[in-house]
Amino acid sequence: MQIPDYSSQIKAVFFDIDETLYMKDTDTLPESVFPALKKLQENNILIGIATGRVVASFPPKIQALIHALNINTFVTSNGQFVQCQGEVLRNAAIPLHIVRPLLNFFQQEQIAYAVINNHKLCVSEITPRLEEALNPITHNYSVDPNYCDHHPILQILSFSDESQDELIENSGFLAGLKTIRWHKNSLDILESEGSKARGIAEVAKHLGFSMENIMAFGDGLNDLEMLSQVGVGVAMGNGHPKLKAQAKHVGKEVDKDGIADFLARANLI
pLDDT in tens, 20-63: 999 998 999 999 999 999 999 999 999 999 999 988 889 999 99
pLDDT in tens, 82-129: 999 999 999 989 999 999 999 999 999 999 999 999 889 999 999 999
pLDDT band of residue 150 (cuts 50, 70, 90) is very high
Going 198 to 201 to 206 to 207, the CA torsion angle's sign is positive
pLDDT of 248 higher than 90? yes
pTM here is 0.89
pLDDT in tens, 173-232: 999 999 999 999 999 999 998 899 999 999 999 999 999 999 999 999 999 999 999 999
| pLDDT at position 135 | 94
Report which of 40, 55, 89 is spatially closest to residue 264, judged by C-alpha positions: 40
pLDDT of 1 higher than 80? no
Average pLDDT, the chain: 96
**Residues designated catalytic:** 16
| pLDDT at position 79 | 94
In this structure, what are the phi and psi dihedrals at residue 248, rounded to the nearest 5 degrees? -70, -35
Report which of 190, 238, 235 is spatially closest to residue 76, judged by C-alpha positions: 190
| pLDDT at position 2 | 85
Q: Mean pLDDT throughout 132-140?
A: 93
Exposed / middle / buried, residue 69 (Cβ in 10 Å: 0-12, 13-18, 19+): middle
Contacts of 210 (CB under 8 A, 6+ apart): 204, 231
| pLDDT at position 92 | 87
